[in-house]
Structures are given as C-alpha cells and as structure tokens.
Amino acid sequence: MLLLSTTETIPGREIIAHAGVVCGNTVRAKHLGRDIAAGLKTLIGGEVGGYTEMLAESRNQAIERMIQSAQELGADAVVSVRFTTSAVAQGMSEMLAFGTAVKLA
C-alpha cells in the first residue's frame, strides 16, 4: 500500500530516495442538472450538493492517477501532497493532485 502525506516526511520512516514529482489530474464538465440546481441555490443559499459530489469524485480520481504514477516509479510513498483546481474552459474544471514520490527504508 502506497502511503500519502501532506507533510515532507512519513513519521517513523526514513526517506532513502526521491523518485520524482508525480501528479494526477482530471477535467470535468458541469451538466445542465447541476447548473439548474446551482442557480436555485444562489437564490436561497446553502451547499450545492451536485458540485460538492463532482469535486469529491474529481479529487479521488486525481489521487488515484497520482498513486499510479508513483507506483510506476517504484515509490513507497508520496510526500508533500497538494491539490489545485483551475478553469480549463467555460463549464470545465481541472483537479490536479501532485507530490514527491519517495522510497522508504
């Protein structure tokens, strides 16, 4: 099992080699149903559940792809894991997960 950490180390483990920077991303588009629900929420307020769900799915897929990249490098862990999002085009967003793949003692 590959370990993930937002810190620069894995507590109790020694990093013996850096395998390189790894990332995973996905680009998702909104659909009409989510846009309608979001429009209504702007009138009454509250969480937009459809978008929350879409972003959680995007984050999970980006993590899975980052892990796959790290495994291809023979890494035991990914440290300094970070996430970022960006608008790619109107109605499309990218979720990017990235970090440093390392080998542990």
Question: CATH number for the 3-104 domain, one of 3.40.50.920, 3.30.110.70, 3.40.190.10, 3.30.365.10?
Answer: 3.30.110.70
- Angle value at C-alpha 90, between 87 and 96, nearest 5 degrees: 25
Summarised one tens digit per residue, pLDDT across range 32-91 is 555 565 566 566 667 777 778 888 999 999 999 999 999 999 999 999 999 999 988 877
What is the side-by-side order of every strand in the sheet holding 77-89? 3-4, 77-89, 92-104, 15-29
Confidence of residue 8 (pLDDT cuts 50, 70, 90): very high
Model pTM? Answer: 0.85
Mean pLDDT, residues 84-101 taken together: 91
**C-alpha span between 49 and 29 (Å, rounded):** 15
| C-alpha of 25 from chain center | 7
Q: Where do the structural domains in the chain lie, given as residue ranges?
A: 3-104
**C-alpha span between 24 and 61 (Å, rounded):** 8
Res 9: pLDDT: 97
Segment of 2-6, 36-40, 91-95 carrying the highest mean pLDDT: 2-6
Rounded to the nearest 10 degrees, how much is the dihedral formed by the CA atoms of 24, 60, 6, 23?
Answer: 0
